[in-house]
């Protein structure tokens, strides 16, 4: 029998054992062109994923259907209709340091309670309502000094996406240039590892040179990391 400090693991094992995941509508049904704008936290409220709620920075939902009503063009009703068909969830993959968006149906199947359960440590407490925005996957990041080449008065911005608690990547500009570290984006696409190391020694963390947009507010990068690591 499990001790009070343990809970039943879902069918998919540790990749599905967290208390919460980031969820969003699929691009095909999302009401906006950017599903990242509709990201929310899918939060387990019981010992398995039969009970959950969905939290956005402005509203809570007690069913997947009500979340989709607000964020997706989903007039799909009938006996065949399953709301998990129209969402995707960010889940840890076999890659030790990465996660990936998987279909909602795959998440639903993977979190079905096991017939022969294994036991896992009880996850930490559910994040508070105030911290929802900090724990989403996708953010806009703005440089404090670099400007858009064609618009010298406009700060350079990019899309920052977390693929895990600390792992992230950055996409910049119409071409969606990919950077696997903030240091590389901070210095530009031609920066070498030596350039990055020298800048870190001379000017400190690249996070000190950016702001991150959270709930409509620009937060200094270093503060954002601290708040994300220890949400209220």
Structure confidence by residue, pLDDT tens digits, 20-72: 999 999 999 999 989 999 999 999 888 778 889 999 988 999 999 999 999 99
> Within this chain, do residues 155 and 194 fall inside the same structural domain, yes or no?
yes
Is the distance from CB of 43 to CB of 2 less than 8 angstroms? no
Helices (H), the chain: 64-71, 104-110, 182-187, 193-203, 221-229
Does the residue 163 lie in any domain? Answer: yes
229's CB contacts (< 8 A; 6+ apart) are: none
Task: Classify residue 73: in a domain, yes or no.
Answer: yes
One domain, residues 141 and 172: yes
Residue 162 in any domain: the answer is yes
Q: Is the domain of 123 the same as that of 180? A: no
> pLDDT band at 115, cuts 50/70/90?
low
Residue 55 counted as domain residue: yes
Residue 76 sits in the same domain as residue 23? yes
* Residue % of the chain over a pLDDT of 70: 84
Query: What local confidence, expressed as pLDDT, does residue 75 receive?
Result: 60
Q: Which tens digit of pLDDT belongs to each residue from 169-204?
A: 899 877 778 888 899 999 887 888 898 899 899 989
141 pLDDT more than 90: yes
| Boundary (domain end) residue, out of 105, 128, 151 | 128
Residue 143 in 3-state DSSP? Answer: strand
pLDDT in tens, 147-177: 988 888 899 999 999 887 778 889 987 777 8
Are both 32 and 108 inside the same structural domain?
Answer: yes
Quote the DSSP letter at residue 105: H
Does residue 229 or residue 124 have the better pLDDT? 229
Shared domain check, 185 and 96: no
For residues 65 and 193, what is the distance between their CA atoms, to the nearest angstrom? 47
For the chain, the residue count is 232
According to the model, what pLDDT value does residue 209 have?
94
- Residue 122 and residue 164 share a domain: no
- Domain final residue pick, 100, 128, 156: 128
CA–chain centroid gap for 160, Å, is 10
3-class secondary structure, 131: helix
In a domain, residue 1? The reply is no
For residue 210, pLDDT beyond 70: yes
CA-nearest of 154, 172, 160, 178 to 221 is 160
What is the C-alpha to C-alpha distance for residues 132 and 40, in angstroms, rounded to an integer?
8
> Where does the pLDDT of residue 118 fall: very low under 50, low under 70, confident under 90, or very high at 90 and above?
low
Task: Let me know whether 170 and 212 are in one domain.
Answer: yes
The reported pLDDT for the residue numbered 13 is: 74
* 207 within some domain: yes
Predicted pLDDT of residue 143: 95
Task: Count up the domains in the chain and report the number.
Answer: 2
pLDDT exceeds 60 at position 96: no
pLDDT of residue 191: 84
pLDDT band at 112 (very low <50, low <70, confident <90, very high): confident
Both 77 and 142 in one domain: the answer is: no
Higher pLDDT, 58 or 11: 58
Residues in Cβ contact with 123 at an 8 Å cutoff, skipping those fewer than 6 apart: 7, 17, 18, 19, 44
Residues 170 and 142 reside in one and the same domain: yes
pLDDT at 117: 59
Domain presence at residue 74: yes
Name the domain boundary from 128, 145, 163. Answer: 128
Residues 163 and 85 in one domain: no
Q: What distance in Å separates the CA atoms of residue 20 and residue 5, rounded to the nearest whole number?
A: 18
pTM of the model: 0.84
Find the domain containing 162 and state its range.
137-229
81 and 147 belong to one structural domain = no
């Amino acid at each position: 029998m499990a001790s009070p400090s343990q809970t039943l693991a879902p069918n998919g094992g540790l990749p599905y054992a967290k208390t919460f995941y980031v969820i969003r509508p699929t691009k095909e049904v999302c009401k906006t062109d950017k599903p990242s704008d509709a990201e929310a936290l899918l939060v387990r409220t019981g010992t398995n994923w039969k009970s959950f709620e969905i939290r956005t920075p402005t509203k809570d939902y007690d069913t997947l259907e009500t979340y989709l009503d607000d964020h997706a063009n989903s007039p799909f009703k009938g006996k065949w209709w399953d709301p998990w068909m129209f969402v995707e969830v960010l889940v840890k993959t076999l890659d030790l340091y990465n996660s990936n968006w998987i279909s909602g149906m795959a998440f639903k199947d993977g979190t079905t309670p096991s017939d022969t359960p294994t036991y896992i440590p009880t996850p930490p407490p559910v994040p508070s309502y105030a911290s929802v925005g900090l724990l989403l996957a996708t953010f806009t990041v703005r440089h404090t000094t670099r400007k858009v080449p064609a618009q010298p008065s406009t700060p350079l911005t990019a899309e920052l996406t977390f693929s895990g608690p600390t792992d992230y990547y950055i996409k910049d500009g119409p071409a969606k240039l990919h950077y696997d570290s903030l240091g590389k984006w901070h210095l530009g696409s031609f920066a070498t590892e030596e350039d990055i190391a020298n800048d870190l020694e001379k000017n400190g963390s690249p996070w000190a040179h950016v702001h991150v947009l959270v709930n409509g507010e620009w937060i200094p990068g270093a503060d954002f990391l601290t708040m994300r690591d220890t949400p209220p």
